[in-house]
Structure 1
Amino acid sequence: MEQTSDEKTLSKENNREKKTIKDIALDILSKYSMIFILIAILIAFQLLTDGILWKPLNITNLILQNSHVLVLAIGMLLVILLGDVDLSVGSVVAFVGAASAVMMVQWQWHPMIAIIASLLVGGLIGAWNGFWISYVGIPAFIVTLAGLLSFRGLTQVILGGTTLAPFPTFFTKLSSGYIPDFIGNGELHLTSILIGLVLSLLSVWNMWKARKRKKDNLFEVESSAWFITKAAIMFASIMLLTFVLASYQGYPVILILLAVLVMIYGFLTTKTTIGRQIYATGGNRKAAELSGVKTKKLTFWIFVNMGVMAALSGLLVASRLNAATPNAGNGFELDAIAAVYIGGASASGGIGTILGAVIGGLIMGILNNGMSIMGIGIDWQQAIKGLILLLAVAFDIYSRKRKAS
Structure 2
Amino acid sequence: MKEKSVGTFLKKYTMIIVLVIVALFFTWQTQGRLIYPQNINNLISQNAYVFILATGMLLCILTGGNIDLSVGSVVCFVGAVGATLMVKKGMNMILCIIIMLAVGLAIGIWQGFWIAYRRIPPFIVTLAGMLMFRGLSNIVLQGYTVAPMPQNYLNLFNSYIIDFFHGENFNITSLVVGIVAAVIFVLLQFRQRMQRVKKGYEVGSITNDIIKCALISLVMIVLMWRLGMYKGIPNILLWILVIVIIYGYVTSKTTIGRHFYAVGGNEKAAKLSGINTNRVYFIAYANMGLLAAVAAMVTIARLNSANPTAGDSYEMDAIGSCFIGGASAYGGSGTIPGVIVGATLMGVINLGMSIMGIDANWQKVVKGLVLLGAVIFDVESKKNSR
Instruction: Give the stretch that moved more between structures: 24-33 or 374-383.
Output: 24-33
Matching of residue 78 in structure 1 with residue 59 in structure 2: yes
Displacement over 4 Å in runs of 4+:
none
Q: Which residue of 2 aligns with 1:32?
A: 13
Q: Which residue of 2 aligns with 1:23?
A: 4
1:5-404 aligned at under 5 Å gives the runs: 20-83=1-64, 84-404=66-386
CA contact (8 A) 1:52 1:58 kept: yes
Letter in 2 for 1:60: N
Q: Which residue of 2 aligns with 1:12?
A: none
Larger radius of gyration: 1
Question: What SS class does the counterpart of residue 53 from structure 1 fall into?
Answer: helix
TM normalised by structure 1 equals: 0.93
Instruction: Give the stretch that moved more between structures: 119-128 or 100-109.
Output: 100-109
Instruction: Give the stretch that moved more between structures: 218-227 or 157-166.
Output: 218-227
- The superposition leaves residues 157-178 of structure 1 with CA deviations (integer Å, 9 ceiling, x where unpaired) of 0000000111100111233111
- The superposition leaves residues 58-99 of structure 1 with CA deviations (integer Å, 9 ceiling, x where unpaired) of 100111000011100000001100121100000000000000
TM normalised by structure 2 equals: 0.98
- The superposition leaves residues 117-176 of structure 1 with CA deviations (integer Å, 9 ceiling, x where unpaired) of 101110000000000001111000000000000000000000000001111001112331
Matched positions, count: 385
- The superposition leaves residues 323-346 of structure 1 with CA deviations (integer Å, 9 ceiling, x where unpaired) of 100000011101100010000000
**Offset at 1:275?**
0.7
CA contact (8 A) 2:109 2:282 kept: yes
**Offset at 1:299?**
0.9
CA contact (8 A) 1:174 1:316 kept: no
Q: Which residue of 2 aligns with 1:11?
A: none
- Give the percent of matched residue pairs that are identical in Structure 1 and Structure 2: 46
CA contact (8 A) 1:92 1:311 kept: yes
**Offset at 1:185?**
2.9
Letter in 2 for 1:302: A
- The superposition leaves residues 226-274 of structure 1 with CA deviations (integer Å, 9 ceiling, x where unpaired) of 2222111121110000100001110000111111111111110011111
Question: What SS class does the counterpart of residue 136 from structure 1 fall into?
Answer: coil
CA distance in 2, matches of 1:398, 1:204: 33
CA distance in 2, matches of 1:232, 1:278: 32
Question: What SS class does the counterpart of residue 33 from structure 2 fall into?
Answer: coil
CA contact (8 A) 1:204 1:234 kept: no
CA distance in 2, matches of 1:347, 1:224: 31
CA contact (8 A) 2:76 2:311 kept: yes
**Offset at 1:22?**
4.0
Structure 2 residues without counterparts, runs of 5 or longer: none
**Offset at 1:28?**
1.4
CA distance in 1, matches of 2:313, 2:84: 23
CA distance in 2, matches of 1:138, 1:375: 44
**Offset at 1:214?**
1.1
Instruction: Give the stretch that moved more between structures: 294-303 or 181-190.
Output: 181-190
CA contact (8 A) 2:52 2:291 kept: yes
